[in-house]
Amino acid sequence: MVQKLDTLKESPSQTAGPYVHIGLTPNFSGITGVYESDLGTTMLGDAPKGERITITGRVLDGTGTPLRDALLEIWHADASGIYPGQDGADADVYGWGRCPTDMDSGTFRFDTIKPGAVKNRDGTPMAPHVTLWIVARGINLGLHTRMYFADEEAANDADPVLKRIEHQVRVPTLMGQPQGDGTYLFDIHLQGPGETIFFDI
């Protein structure tokens, strides 16, 4: 026998199920009067620095059908690459958003600003990106991915996370595609030929 390590095991995940909206976006699900508003619907204060953007898309299953009961959260840095809570962060950039996919069309939408490059642990810059977390009925453990910006080619080419992906053919699945009006389209494919890269962080 040896001494025991005093560590605990993480609580195992369970699916968010079909009624995740009741808990996380009750007003969206029609339960009004309990919380004033749903958390994560507003991502910006009055005067955030940076370019305004919209991130929109759908979450598609292995048959290409959009999920109409998924919920996404995103987290990103301010225009200078500083996360809320860090010294010098832009107080009008909240960085966090939560959005259920539309119950009919399956689309999600986040209105925010384009983040700047965040420093990697060794001090080198990562290309501008948004971290996403996706939960839904049928997803047993929340999925982590990133959206990079397809119009940041030079930065993307130098990004330490993108560079180490063995199957470079899959990297485009992480690219938000500019639509020309500040909107970036980012469809998430859970399965199938264009399956999005998910990360084991």
109-168 residues in contact with other proteins (CB under 8 A) are: 118-122, 126, 129, 131, 133, 135-144, 146, 160-161, 164-165
Q: Binding other proteins by CB under 8 A: which of 1, 2, 3, 10?
A: 10
Tell me which residues in 83-112 interact with other proteins (CB under 8 A).
Answer: 83-86, 94-96, 103
Stretch that binds other proteins, among 17-25, 45-53, 147-155, 177-185 (CB under 8 A): 17-25
* CB 27, min distance to other proteins, A: 10
Cα→Cα distances 5→1, 48, 57, Å: 12, 46, 44
Question: Looking at beta carbons only, is 169 or 181 nearer to other proteins?
Answer: 169
Nearest to 143 by CA among 71, 192, 77: 71
- Specify which residues 110 forms β-bridges with: 55
Question: Looking at beta carbons only, is 85 or 180 nearer to other proteins?
Answer: 85
Contact flag: residue 11 with other proteins (CB under 8 A): yes
x/- letters, 37..76, toward other proteins (CB under 8 A)? --x---------------------xxx-x-x-x---x-xx
Full DSSP string of 25-74: -TTTTT--SSSSS-TTS--B-SS--S-EEEEEEEEE-TTSPBPSS-EEEE
* CB 62, min distance to other proteins, A: 4
Full DSSP string of 75-99: E---TTS--TTSTT--TTB--EEEE
Please tell me the total number of residues recorded for the chain in this structure: 201
**How far separated are the first and last CA of the chain, in Å rounded?**
32
Show the tokens assigned to 119: 């420093």
* CB 76, min distance to other proteins, A: 8
Q: Binding other proteins by CB under 8 A: which of 92, 111, 187, 195?
A: 195
CB-CB neighbours of 189 under 10 Å = 17
* CB 92, min distance to other proteins, A: 15
Contact flag: residue 190 with other proteins (CB under 8 A): yes
Contact flag: residue 16 with other proteins (CB under 8 A): yes
Question: Could you tell me the sign of the dihedral formed by the alpha carbons of 109, 110, 115, 119, in that order?
Answer: negative
Question: Looking at beta carbons only, is 13 or 179 nearer to other proteins?
Answer: 13
